[in-house]
Structure 1
């Protein structure tokens, strides 16, 4: 097994502790090495569950694909398009929904062009659902550069890729 396969397999195994992980899933025209879904619901009650004070639901989705060739602008556009098409089908139409975060991740062992790095930094999209009454959805593009041991993402998305960075910096056996 090569380095990319080992890294992706190890990362998918780490996600299984808190995410539902689906391996080799095809969405649209892209076959992902794995997709991961996390759902969290918090509620506050007053004396009994019949009197709910507030409730919020948060979700996170990861769509990860491996790419053995150099990443192009067209690859990023295709990934961005597929992830954006999934936003409406993955976000619930409830007033308790607060936020959904979508990560489109490309793992590569090829050099990453500076133009691609710049495109990834601009790869954030924020979408308010029903004018914000039903929360919001965020989409980030992420490139994991195995050669340079770097995770490229928009600055606001750094918190969502902390686990990927930690996995990248540790030795995978």
Structure 2
């Protein structure tokens, strides 16, 4: 049985829905959804007026849907995700890290793309990491072969997206 990009998209968004704020866009190809997650953890001594530390973590997920992925599309998706993600990050002393995640759903992809996806990277330190850092995670879901191709930083999401693929079938 073959699966469609639309069914994979709905399954991925359903998995993100519980913890992320989701915004959809009315496009057939390109950026079709954005999911945002903010987490803050604090440690107090005796009362909440005496705070020991606080840590903020963010995740900005950009979901793209394309019939065919080539190097130009990958570069455009990466640049759009990084540009928009960096605009949303506001580093300060309690900001630990922000993930910028680009998930690309493609019916098929160019044969040279696997190498390009795996070598895709971006990271930025804020005030020598005293105000945190940002990392780009790129994951491509090849619908025709039901495979997930991550970059180095995106490997931690492969199991999550594999379960989404199985549910979409």
Q: Same-fold call, TM > 0.5?
A: yes
Consecutive aligned runs of 4 or more in structure 1 exceeding 3 Å deviation: none
Structure 2 gap segments, 5+ residues each: none
**Offset at 1:77?**
1.1
Give TM-score scaled by structure 2 length: 0.90
1:1-150 correspondence runs (5 A): 3-24=4-25, 31-68=30-67, 70-110=68-108, 112-150=109-147
Give TM-score scaled by structure 1 length: 0.88
What is the RMSD computed on CA atoms of the aligned residues? 1.8
Cα deviations by residue, 1:125-144 (Å, 9 ceiling, x for unpaired): 11101211110000122210
Residue 172 of structure 1 corresponds to 168
Structure 1 gap segments, 5+ residues each: none
**Offset at 1:54?**
0.8
Q: Distance in 1 between matches of 2:86 and 2:60?
A: 13
Cα deviations by residue, 1:61-86 (Å, 9 ceiling, x for unpaired): 11011111x21111111111111212
Q: Distance in 1 between matches of 2:158 and 2:110?
A: 21
